[in-house]
Amino acid sequence: MRVYLGSDHAGYELKMHLVNHLIKQGHDVVDVGPHVYDPEDDYPAFCLHTGAKVVADAGSLGIVIGGSGNGEQIAANKIDGVRAALVWRTEIAQLARQHNDANVISIGAREHTLDEATAFVETFLATPFSGNPRHARRIGQLAEYEAGRPELPALPEN
């Protein structure tokens, strides 16, 4: 599987670990950057490009990494077609794929050990989308909104 990875300085060490680990696992890995450690770099460009590459490459998945993972997830989700999920447990990585067909995960490198983060990634890559009609319907609703940017859907009346 092709996997795109992008980070900032806070996620650089974890990104490099994952690049090497995933190559050893037989994945086609694309390191979007940064390619050198720079304590002053900014995450948006790396995450935006990672997301854009995933969307342009059907069947691929992406990983964005920063200190907390929050900003990286927000940045990746700015790309139409990206469904990025912030992951903090293996169960969340699994649910992100099964229920949301997430194509990008975000990890906070300062929040997890290398082993924990590696387990998140392995679970994410190994888990397929469930195809459950209710999950597919919800994803479709978001994609429709994203494609046309119509008015917000009406809220149900209680």
The residues, ordered by sequence, that sit 6+ positions from 23 with a Cβ below 8 Å of its Cβ are 29
Q: What is the pTM of this model?
A: 0.93
Per-residue pLDDT of the chain in tens (158 residues, 90 and over written 9): 999 999 999 999 999 999 999 999 999 999 999 999 999 999 999 999 999 999 999 999 999 999 999 999 999 999 999 999 999 999 999 999 999 999 999 999 999 999 999 999 999 999 999 999 999 999 999 998 888 865 656 656 76
Query: φ, ψ for residue 12 (rounded to 5)?
Result: -55, -50
Helix (H, G, I), strand (E, B) or coil at 36: coil
> How far is Cα 64 from Cα 93, in angstroms, rounded to an integer?
13
- Residue tagged active-site, from 99, 116, 122, 135: 99
CATH number at residue 77: 3.40.1400.10
* 45 falls within a domain: yes
Q: Tell which residue, 16, 73, 27, 70, has the closest CA to residue 50.
A: 73
- Residue tagged active-site, from 9, 27, 49, 72: 72
> How many structural domains does the chain have?
1
Res 62: pLDDT? 98
Active site residue 72: yes
129 within 8 A of 98, measured Cβ to Cβ: yes
* 145 falls within a domain: no
* 49 falls within a domain: yes
Domain that holds residue 7: 2-130
* 155 falls within a domain: no
